[in-house]
A and B are shown apart, each in its own frame.
Chain A
Amino acid sequence: MKKNSVLWIVAALLLGLVAIETAFVHPHEPVAGWRAWPGFHFAFGLAACLVAVWLAKGLGRAWLQKPEERDDDV
């Protein structure tokens, strides 16, 4: 129940932010066109987060992460 209410609050906040952006926010300096799309930064933050973690975990499993005992300090 508590979890659901938090999610509703977050969703409402996000919708509010997008509404504010659509109504009032206009870039006051040159930016790439897609940065001015309503909600772009939210979607980009979410997508970049998922991609970064997926990529890092994949690299970690394949090559980069080793058990602590392997910290052969030469």
Chain B
Amino acid sequence: MFEHAHPSLVLAAGAALLPFAGRAGRRWIPAVVPVAALIWILQAPAGFRLEISAIGMTWTVAHVDGFSRLFAVAFAFFACLAGIYSWREPSATSRAGSMLIAAAGIGVALAGDLLSLFLSWELMTVGSVVVIAAGRARGSDRAAFRYLAFHLAGGFALLAGILLLLVERGSAPVARIGLEGLSGWLILIGFCVNAAVPPLHAWLPDAYPRASPFGTVALSAFTTKAAVYTLLRCFPGEPVLVWAGAAMALYGVIFAVLENDIRRLLGYHIVSQVGYMVCGVGIGTAAALAGVAAHAFCHIFYKGLLLMAAGAVVHAAGSGKLTELGGIARQLWGVVVLYMIGAFAISGVPLFSGFVSKSIIVSASAASAPGAIELMLVAASMGTFLHTGLKLPWFAFFARPAEPDTKAGSVGHVPPSMYLAMTVAAAVCVGLGVLPSLLYRAIPDMPSYEPYTADHVVWALQLLAGTGVGFRLLLSKLGGEPTVTFDVDRLYRRPISFVVTALGTGVEALHKRTGTLGKRIVERIARWQVLLAGLKKGSLAAAVWVLLATLTAASLLCLAFGVHRGRKAAGEPGTPPPVSTAPGSPVLERPADRSLR
């Protein structure tokens, strides 16, 4: 069974079938197919490898061990919840895109070599672009294009790094790389784009709120967590990540103060929470890496729950702006209860999942990182409770509407499918918080850790109480304002637009001025003007063309490399053979074993 299928392939096949399926099929496929993938992942024996040979290389498309299984299980389980949540999603394109993202996320988690990982990485970009563009909100197309441009740049850095690594070392397994050479830095930049490490993060709050309420849920779970997984595998114990992660945790908190859009606010908190994980990877001890895996697992479900609840508000009230909401708790009391479970989980309230995972990273930072890091992480924890546990629910659900023509009087119906998905996610948040051993048992080489000690609990409650008092004192300043927040994306939006315009104008001018002989050539080039014009407008079709061209270029690069390598191996008997990928070989060493500290 395992040798003849790959869970990503199953999901991708489901995504391909969706546009041709009937109404029932479109509803059932996204909810049921991930279950098949989940069964595959749970049943695959430890150490199982699935390898294929192509273009002169052996591709390890699946390798099952403790960490890869943990992440893949979370991805498949959440894909199932996202499928249930999007039962009423009208766009088959968005559903297919969501399934593609899930397929790619699982592909990244299971990949045994970096080239296989790269293919899944780019598939994730394709799926995300489709989901964002299918959002049909104002500016969705352009946000999808910016997402594509940013991730293609990151993908190129990643591919260049992988090829360089192959040249340097002869193999590129998903194992510790380090930052000793240029290849390591290029790969790290590629990973950091998807992990939304500032200043490479602006795509996240820009794009996620532009997808449909259903699409945002699918987007939230996979891209950043897949990047955390790759950082955990390839860069454990890199000091630069300690500071980057701690700064990231605070960056999201500061920007969340200014946000008026609830999904954008939650987007900044993805940046903040992933900051904890990046910091934990940088600390690199076995305890810190176990904390990263635990926190990523919990984060997938509590952040998914929060965005599901936010999506339910947008679906029912028709707006996600704090200035247009307020006073809708009575109409949406079920959503409020479920949202608060997610908010307590992300804030690290005892008996909820975030408490049992986040505290591992903070404890690891206390043991092995500079004191300032521990303080920064504790401060970020305060900010998380301030925004997701107090500000957002107060102003969206309970406070009197700020404007007279708000949505309180016209709240629509929330479908049972949304409630079902949110309830299961909430059950995971509470279940893991009450019984953390369920999670700890699944983490390979989990060191002995007891979250429910008097000091952990009392300190967490004190922090929450202090934040609560601060919120009360600042209540009048924390309400939503009808503003937009400028982030670093403003630095590259206009230059990109300028370059695309200049290219179009240049081709047009050349076309007018060249003689008869040149015209033929230039006419051919001028055809690209249509594409450039499309890019300028943020056309999805143009974006897809660029993506296909990029993937073709990437494939040709890989092919050229494979041919070159094959010739080298055949012509030079002294050339060292590639590193063995046979079962039992140390290709996929666990990062905890090789942590730098």
Contact = CB atoms under 8 A, between A and B. Distances in A.
Interface of A: 10, 13-14, 17-18, 20-21, 24-32, 35-36, 39-50, 52-53, 55-57, 59-60, 63-68, 70-71, 73-74
A56 B462 contact: no
A47 B254 CA distance: 14
B371 interface: yes
Given A10-B469, A18-B462, A65-B481, 14 more contacts: A26-B455, A31-B366, A32-B374, A35-B459, A40-B462, A41-B378, A41-B463, A48-B467, A49-B382, A49-B383, A49-B466, A49-B470, A57-B477, A60-B257
B474 to A, nearest CB: 5
Q: Identify whether the interface residues of A are mostly helix, strand, loop, or mixed.
A: helix
A63 B486 contact: yes
Contacts of B453: 28
B465 A17 contact: yes
B493 interface: yes
Determine chain B's interface SS by DSSP, over half rule.
helix
B363 A29 contact: yes
Contact of B379 (A13, A27, A30, A44): A44
B53 interface: no
Given A28-B453, A41-B462, A42-B463, A50 B482 contact: no
Contact of B466 (A24, A46, A52): A46
Contacts of A57: 257-258, 477
Given A17-B462, A39-B462, A45-B462, A52 B253 contact: yes
B494 interface: yes
B470 A71 contact: no
B556 interface: no
Given A41-B463, A43-B466, A25 B458 contact: yes
Contacts of B494: 74
Given A35-B459, A41-B459, A53-B477, A67 B482 contact: yes
A67 B481 CA distance: 9
A52 B486 contact: no
Contacts of B254: 52, 55-56, 59
A68 B482 contact: yes
B458 A50 contact: no
A34 to B, nearest CB: 9
Contacts of A13: 465
A49 B387 CA distance: 10
A69 to B, nearest CB: 9
Contacts of A17: 458, 461-462, 465
A26 B455 CA distance: 6
A32 B366 CA distance: 7
Contacts of B24: none
Given A28-B455, A32-B374, A56-B258, A45 B474 contact: no
B225 interface: no
B269 to A, nearest CB: 13
A21 B257 contact: no
B470 A45 contact: yes
A49 B454 contact: no
